[in-house]
A and B are shown apart, each in its own frame.
Chain A
């Protein structure tokens, strides 16, 4: 079961079959009364309820999974505290946002939280470094087993979670301000004359833009700077990195700084998009791990692809397709939902198990834990 098949070749007949099926659907839609409009309506509805939220959520998961994957690559353990680090960073952002709002400072149409982001990052970085100094460094110097690190990270998870609940409380926090929508449903309908509307929320666009910038920056760092290369080298071959004069403490320091930064950004974007609640953040742990593993743990590119795979599956599996099918000429009785929305978290777990069994090293051939 552990053996790793070299590559799963995708047979062309599959794609041809899928393409033909799609073609048939399109044809049937176009050939009905109102033809093309119905197809457009279906597409718009799909974009509005699946594509846009999927991209947004995918970016958030990808940023979280990047942190997990970096920590795994460099320090060889799965950081169970990572979701709580996200909550901690987002909490810092919220608190500073409140202060800024109190002082009357805002970012105009953008959420004030973007101004507060550096402070939140600072808070999360400090927490991560304190935990590293007090907890992980000892085990690193001992060259302790990965399980010890995992258990230590559970301790860190309890501590971080406790701190978040102590400082901001367990309740729900909404901190998005500024302009809520870039395109409103009503405006879109009037503009296009379609019966389906498309809403483009500011947070969606911000999420995408910020995620793209951060990911580009991260890849530039990893592939172009001496420190980034040293981090990759250390992840590749710890002993040889030592022989090359790479200081493991420095690598660990920067790994935590980057992971905490990514976590804060991911946590803030998620909070802006939905809302901030410590327990919800804790629950993100599973999709984030799933993203990292599906992509191939230890592979940054894998974390991004994994994030989108998990996000889109979660949404696509739990979205009711009745109306879309209606536009395409298939009237259905039920909701045409593959799984009830309550099983959102089960979806990522199913993907995880499927990947673990058939392709344990993930899409990008990451490490086998």
Chain B
């Protein structure tokens, strides 16, 4: 079953038709809102596909890298809070220095002290003392920072740069953290890597939720600047009012559409650039090597390829792409809400996108992002609709009917699970399989099984 060029075209066309149908039947506002998140989801799926499809890496830490991208948006775009810096900046800097110093001393001890019986106790002692010292600077500074006008700021703020800069910064931040995580975990085989990254992402989000001085924690940062004009600014201007008169739409309605369309334009161009880059990478000697490593790790290792190093590269690259998507997501929302990062939505759903779309095929991952996000949104809306239909036989106001109607939006989990399982069974290589054809989920028993 080898799809020709027709299949991507028809699937893409079907997606466009579905979006237009939403625009006509529901509203164009909804359609554009879906499109924007589809674009961001597609970028995330692309990032994961780089790791999974190119290198067979099982990254379940998507949520963490998305959140890091969001953090970058806050740290780049929010204005700095001068009072907070004055109150606790010095203390935090000292804490950072002592922490780094502790790490350096421990490292030095590890290297210098040759007597084993002494080394461990010495390292433990330095660790405890260093941590206590760090904490003695850190805790009061945190308290001081968080006390600064805590209902509005209570954090250090950011750099006050344009928010689009944060898309790059988000990628860079995610890449840096991915490098550290990769150094720790990439020696691990598939399942372990999945569990370890899942754990790390949970820990990362826990940090973001609790360290209020960094990005206000669960108090959220809600006033992020935008890269596009605000609606009210638009329909305050004469040319815009004229324009809406010409189109025959209410200015407030049109402004909403224009803003969303501008976002879509920005996200779409990012997606295109990333798609082009990853396409080039996949078909470069580097990409061929990556696939060679993926398909036969032992052979690649025997040929002298440093597999772990290549894996680290691809892990960092893919995570950076996810970080970019995370920054774009926060840009679109205009707010950073650490509590909203849940593994279902930000890790497993993205995986469904990659698997359904076609692992190893960038186009497939993007299609998966579009398709699954569409279904995820529509299933939430469709669940209650279906449930109303199903329960119409029940008496109005009975508790069972009420319960069913209340829980109906959760039907989408079920729908997603069924879609994933069906695609995995019927078309294990996804809707748009990888062209080279070597990469088949059902045939990848080597490497992991015998270890």
B-contacting residues of A (Cβ < 8 Å)? Answer: 1-2, 11, 13-14, 17, 76-78, 134-135, 138-139, 142-148, 150-152, 154-163, 165-167, 169-170, 279, 282, 285-286, 289-290, 293, 334, 340, 342-343, 345-346, 348-350, 352-353, 356-357, 360, 368-369
Contact = CB atoms under 8 A, between A and B. Distances in A.
Contact of B451 (A1, A286, A368): A368
B58 A147 contact: yes
B420 A289 contact: no
A369 B192 contact: yes
Contact of B206 (A162, A285, A346): A346
Contacts, number: 171
B344 interface: yes
A162 B58 contact: no
A153 B192 CA distance: 15
Contact of A369 (B189, B342, B416): B189
Given A143-B445, A145-B448, A342-B206, A162 B412 contact: yes
Contact of A150 (B58, B184, B410): B58
Given A170-B407, A353-B199, A162 B415 contact: yes
Interface stretch (B15-23, B89-97, B297-305, B436-444): B436-444
Interface string B198-228: 1110110011011000000000000000000
Contacts of B415: 162
A361 B198 CA distance: 19
B313 interface: no
Interface string B390-414: 0000000000000100111011111
B424 A369 contact: no
A160 B202 CA distance: 21
Interface of B: 56, 58, 117, 120-121, 139, 184-185, 187-192, 194-196, 198-200, 202-203, 206-207, 209-210, 342-344, 348, 351-352, 355, 403, 406-408, 410-418, 420-421, 424-425, 428, 441-445, 448-449, 451
Main SS of chain A's interface residues? Answer: helix
B120 to A, nearest CB: 8
B194 A155 contact: no
B344 A151 contact: no
B196 A356 contact: yes
Nearest to A1: B187
Contacts of A143: 445
B184 A78 contact: no
6 contacts: A146-B190, A154-B348, A155-B417, A169-B410, A286-B202, A349-B202
Nearest to B406: A169
Contacts of B184: 353, 356-357
Contact of B209 (A154, A169, A342, A357): A342
A150 B190 CA distance: 9
Nearest to B451: A368
B419 to A, nearest CB: 8
Nearest to A158: B417
Given A169-B410, A346-B203, A356-B192, 12 more contacts: A13-B117, A13-B121, A147-B444, A150-B190, A159-B414, A285-B198, A334-B139, A342-B209, A343-B203, A346-B206, A349-B202, A350-B203
Nearest to A17: B121
Nearest to A342: B210
Contacts of A368: 189, 451
A169 B387 CA distance: 14
Nearest to A11: B117
A202 B100 CA distance: 48
